[in-house]
Amino acid sequence: MIAALPARPERAALEATAAGLMGAIKDKRPGEEVAAIAGDLRRRIIDLYEVRVAPRQVPDLRPAAADYTTHCAVCHGAAGRGDGPAAKGLTPPPADLTDAARMGQHSVFGLYNTITLGIKGTAMTGFAPLSESQRWALAFYVSTLATGGEARGRGAALWKSGAGKTELRDLRALVMATPRDVTARAGADGAAVLAYLRSEPSALATGRESPIDFSARLLGESLDAYRRGDAAQAHQLAVTGYLEGFELVEAPLDAVDRGLRTRVEGGMLRYRTLIQSRAPKETVEAEARAILSLLDTARQRLDAARLSPLTTFTSALVILLREGLEAILVLAALIAMLIKSGRREALRYVHAGWIAALALGGLTWLAAAYVVTVSGASREVTEGVTALVAAAMLLYVGFWMHRHAHAARWKAYLETRVQSALSGRTLWALAAVSFVAVYRETFETVLFYQALWIEAGPEGRVAVGAGFVAAVAGLGLVAWLMLKLGLRLPVGWFFGVGSALMAVLAVVLAGKGIAALQHAGKLPVGPLDLPAIPSLGVYPTWQGVLTQLVLVVLILAAFGYSRRGGRIA
């Protein structure tokens, strides 16, 4: 049978393991040894060929007892002892589903397959006419018949105290686990937790799925959708898997392995591009396998560093520095410009802008957390649009500053500043720039800190707070240095440097805006063989690079025209 599977380099190893299994059966080796070889072979086949082994959602077990009575009790009996009215004369007899030793060898996934396909040569027929969700619920119900209420009660208490969170971390792990294997690895307590979760799989939903596990799960669902021919659904699942999962751990991963973070991000982008281009299934599957391997490596790197206060501190520091540096540069430049212009009374417009942005960002997060659902794609679209708007506004301010970078024009400006240069419209534009520069990152920054706060656990929260405070201090130092330096520069130099800074930030934000819209799946992705430089807004796609190049040409042309004698604003 394995020889009939699609060709893969790893298939030869599977064939060797299968031959070993056949040899163990022929030699009548101990049952535990045969079961171990068979289990290993099963897991490797599932991993290699990405077989979906878990239900699409947590099954509702409430109708399962009635389904058991209707379809199973006639042979297996009302209690599952194999003594139903139709059991007499059947060869082999129906299984005793209350036999703990027998049922200890079965996973819920195995029971689901038996219910779906039946067992050849027996009276056990498949129940394919039942819906998939009904068959999963029935499999869970049958898996509980060999355990008593006492064991499940103890398992519930253990689960609530934190036991089993690693061994049975998600629905896939739950349906693949057998009582015998769990007992061997985690003892009687682990078996009790398994018994409880089999009876109450919805309890998994109350446990927090890690962002990386979420990304891996949705990547598998995306691949399933692509195999079915539903490329649109596959693409949407891939987008959600990145934005709602991996993106939330980018900062912690940056602190321990920036190169790995870049490879995962690039792989996910390539995977979505392959889906959009309707690439062959084999190519898409190969990319998905590579991403899953990288995600597993990322999980291991984060797990290894999770207990390190230094890693937690660095992650908290990086989040705010990364997300806030551009905003603080813009604010410092605007404030210095107004002070240099002798218009301190106009500072309230800039302050009103960033204060309103922080307040609205906080309200947006509260609404998303408690009132409405804001998807990762919506967040990314918001960030992308505001980045492009901010880029346009920075160009406006930058051109204004450039026109006043020459002594003669500055003298004319001083003579007419109240009537023209800093008109009410310009002041409100400065307030808008201040608002957009801060708001575009506020909501996402809060989400990143929320994810880090949960990941760090109680023992790591002091490090999170310390990293945040250090980042605030760092940004404050940057702002102070900019103000001090800016106010010491001659007027012409100040406006020249300020206009250049605004232009550079506009190019950076334009690149980031395009990238954000691509991450949200709103713009196509054309890969380029270039390194990503996120701090400059450079990402390896021709859409982003072309946008930045066009913007650079326009800026140079506009600045050149201004130097030749453009009219003062």
Predicted local distance difference test score (pLDDT) of residue 415: 43
Predicted local distance difference test score (pLDDT) of residue 518: 80
Residue 143 binned pLDDT confidence (cut-offs 50, 70, 90): very high
Lowest mean pLDDT across 56-60, 408-412, 469-473: 408-412
Q: Is the pLDDT of residue 196 over 80?
A: yes
Q: Which of 48-57, 229-238, 321-330 has the highest mean pLDDT?
A: 229-238
C-alpha count within 13 angstroms, C-beta hemisphere, residue 472? 7
Arithmetic mean of pLDDT, 469-477? 90
Burial of 189 (0-12, 13-18, 19+ CB in 10 A): middle
Q: Is the pLDDT of residue 469 over 80?
A: yes
Q: Is the pLDDT of residue 61 over 50?
A: yes
Q: What are phi and psi of 527, to 5 degrees?
A: -65, 145
Predicted local distance difference test score (pLDDT) of residue 430: 78
Predicted local distance difference test score (pLDDT) of residue 500: 80
Arithmetic mean of pLDDT, 55-81? 88
Is the bond leading into 30 cis (omega within 30 degrees of zero)? no
Q: What angle do CA 305, 308, 312 make, to 5 degrees?
A: 90
Length of the chain: 569
Q: Is the pLDDT of residue 413 over 70?
A: no
Residue 57 binned pLDDT confidence (cut-offs 50, 70, 90): confident
Predicted local distance difference test score (pLDDT) of residue 408: 44
Lowest mean pLDDT across 61-70, 243-252, 265-274, 425-434: 425-434
Predicted local distance difference test score (pLDDT) of residue 228: 80
Taking only the tens place, the pLDDT of each residue in 529-550 is 787 787 788 888 888 899 999 9
Taking only the tens place, the pLDDT of each residue in 356-394 is 988 887 777 676 555 544 555 666 777 777 778 777 877
Q: Is the pLDDT of residue 111 over 90?
A: yes
Residue 308 binned pLDDT confidence (cut-offs 50, 70, 90): low
Task: Take residue 425 and report the two structure tokens written for it.
Answer: 């419209």
Lowest mean pLDDT across 46-50, 305-309, 323-327, 407-411: 407-411
Count CB atoms within 10 A of the CB of residue 121. Answer: 8
Residue 179 binned pLDDT confidence (cut-offs 50, 70, 90): very high
Contact between 435 and 325 under an 8 Å Cβ cutoff? The reply is no
Report which of residues 206 and 447 the model is more confident about: 447
Tell me how far apart the alpha carbons of residues 407 and 5 are, in angstroms, rounded to a whole number.
78
Q: What are phi and psi of 107, to 5 degrees?
A: -90, 165
Report which of residues 224 and 6 the model is more confident about: 224
In three-state form (DSSP H/G/I as H, E/B as E, the rest C), the secondary structure along 6-17 is CCCCCHHHHHHH
Tell me how far apart the alpha carbons of residues 105 and 109 are, in angstroms, rounded to a whole number.
12
Contact between 103 and 97 under an 8 Å Cβ cutoff? The reply is yes
Q: Is the pLDDT of residue 567 over 60?
A: no
Q: Is the pLDDT of residue 455 over 80?
A: no
Of 248, 178, 191, nearest in space to 215 by CA: 248
Q: Is the pLDDT of residue 520 over 70?
A: yes
Task: Take residue 279 and report the two structure tokens written for it.
Answer: 């690439």
In three-state form (DSSP H/G/I as H, E/B as E, the rest C), the secondary structure along 524-567 is CCCECCCCCEHHHCECCEHHHHHHHHHHHHHHHHHHHHHHCCCC
Q: Is the pLDDT of residue 405 over 80?
A: no
Predicted local distance difference test score (pLDDT) of residue 197: 93
Q: Is the pLDDT of residue 475 over 80?
A: yes
Q: Is the pLDDT of residue 352 over 80?
A: yes
Q: What is the DSSP string of 7-61?
A: P-TTHHHHHHHHHHHHHHHHTT--HHHHHHHHHHHHHHHHHHTT---S-SS----
In sequence order, what are the residues at sequence separation of 6 or more whose Cβ sits closer than 8 angstroms to the Cβ of residue 480? none
Residue 432 binned pLDDT confidence (cut-offs 50, 70, 90): confident
Predicted local distance difference test score (pLDDT) of residue 419: 40
Contact between 528 and 270 under an 8 Å Cβ cutoff? The reply is no
Q: Is the pLDDT of residue 479 over 50?
A: yes
Terminal CA-CA length for the chain: 78
Q: What is the DSSP string of 436-461?
A: HHHHHHHHHHHHHHHHHHHHH-GGGH
Of 433, 241, 272, 250, nearest in space to 350 by CA: 433
In sequence order, what are the residues at sequence separation of 6 or more whose Cβ sits closer than 8 angstroms to the Cβ of residue 103? 97, 143, 145, 146, 179
Of 72, 202, 91, nearest in space to 145 by CA: 72
Predicted local distance difference test score (pLDDT) of residue 271: 93
Q: Is the pLDDT of residue 170 over 60?
A: yes
pTM of structure? 0.48
Q: Is the pLDDT of residue 245 over 50?
A: yes
Does the structural domain 57-205 have CATH classification 1.10.8? no
Predicted local distance difference test score (pLDDT) of residue 4: 64
Report which of residues 429 and 375 the model is more confident about: 429
Average pLDDT, the chain: 79
Predicted local distance difference test score (pLDDT) of residue 69: 92
Taking only the tens place, the pLDDT of each residue in 27-37 is 888 877 777 77
Tell me how far apart the alpha carbons of residues 341 and 437 are, in angstroms, rounded to a whole number.
22
Of 58, 94, 61, 60, nearest in space to 77 by CA: 94
Percent pLDDT > 90 in the chain is 15
**Residue 541 pairs with which residues in a beta bridge?**
527
Q: Which of 223-232, 367-376, 518-527 has the highest mean pLDDT?
A: 223-232
Domain boundaries, the chain: 1-51, 57-205, 211-305, 310-563
Residue 186 binned pLDDT confidence (cut-offs 50, 70, 90): confident
